[in-house]
Amino acid sequence: METASASASASASPWARPAQIRPRSARPPCASPFARADWQTACAAILATNSNSPSAAPPPRVNGGYHSNAKPALADHASLDLDLVPVSNLPRPLSITDLSPAPMHGNQLRVAYQGVPGAYSEAAAAKAYPSCDAIPCDQFEVAFQAVELWIADRAVLPVENSLGGSIHRNYDLLLRHRLHIVGEVQLPVHHCLLALPGVRKELLTRVISHPQALAQCELTLNAMGLNVAREAFDDTAGAAEHVAAAGLRDTAAIASARAADLYGLQILADGIQDDSGNVTRFVMLAREPIIPRTDRPFKTSIVFAHDREGTSVLFKVLSAFAFRDISLTKIESRPHRHRPIRLVDDANVGTAKHFEYMFYIDFQASMAEVRAQNALSEIQEFTSFLRVLGSYPMDMTPWDTASASTISNDITDDSSRSS
């Protein structure tokens, strides 16, 4: 009886609220919104329920409030309490832009390098990614972390020099971090002797620069008759910056011509490297690898270790490449940080200690080639650890000692236009 009287009173009042339509099963808070078909079905049920309602009805209520812009089709029906969840209140999926800080200068690619502006690494970054937003880092590891933390999109770091050899620090960092090699760039090194304006070579008492730069210019400095002390500095451009900032009139720096322009120094001598074939090889690092191809020359870098005795494992690795006519461009050994020494007990000769090494190899082949895949499959059978650091296009540009100064001029022009 109570139900019948309630229904009668509800139909008698034109402003009565009909029973709310709810889903049959309760939806959890994290459930997805209704599909369009569910929404249309719910609307059809509402219209059918209120087909006999008076025309003078208030606008439908959404989430407890009246919607002022209701459509006429729904405005003619009784008050509706749909309790809908606004789309604007739903959680938005995370995207890359949420994890990556916005670039400071438009949408340029952000490239991290070690050193200060004017360093050769900055010129290498400009050659690898023209018009990029170069980000200087004070240490090699900071450049790795900048890419891993989405502060930078790429990193360009040196791994070897034609005169000074390998940069061992970066080989160790390649193994420690999970970045991928996506390219390489070879940059001719063009050293200059820089000093404050008005300083003559006869007044110099010392020359500062990176240790490799000092070694690469040793013979030329002696031929110039400079009886000066030579002191190591963190990097070449940093040495030029220090001379300019401290106003050292008895000190010269070995750096690039761009460093002279940036820090207001004069060039006392140009091209003072002992060997004109002084080239540094840089690798380009990214968070994700690139897809290897076969339409252009590719290079692949790997690192492996073994836990067996003797040198036969290294011989087998080299044989796997030689059998498939794959050329090696580099082989480097580094101490195994977690297992630097291996003890071997022999009843006849006693206990022997062997150093354990990680081996880095670069070979000229793409991982898209079957021969490269078969070679690594064979190597994996007798190594305890194998990792592909990257398969990437080779830098096929010819070595030209004048190209370094050209790149420096391009960087200067880009900087002047942006300012």
Active site residues: 280, 282
CA distance 202 to 237: 23
The two tokens of residue 163 are: 């005169």
The one-letter code for the residue type at 185 is V
Say if residue 112 is exposed, middle or buried (CB neighbours under 10 Å; 0-12, 13-18, 19+). Answer: buried
Alpha helices in 2-139 (DSSP H): 2-12, 36-49, 72-75, 96-99, 120-128
CA distance 258 to 411: 8
Which residues are bridge partners to 161 per DSSP?
Answer: 165, 280
Helix (H) or strand (E) holding 320: helix 312-323
Phi, psi angles (nearest 5°) of residue 178: -105, 30
The one-letter code for the residue type at 44 is A
Backbone angle region of 110, left / alpha / beta, with phi > 0 → left and psi within -120 to 50 → alpha: beta
Based on C-alpha coordinates, what's the Rg of the chain? 35
Place of tokens 């354990």: 356
Tell me the pairing of strands 206-209 and 251-255.
parallel
Cα–Cα distances in angstroms (integers) from residue 289 to residues 186, 324, 367, 379, in the given order: 20, 25, 12, 21
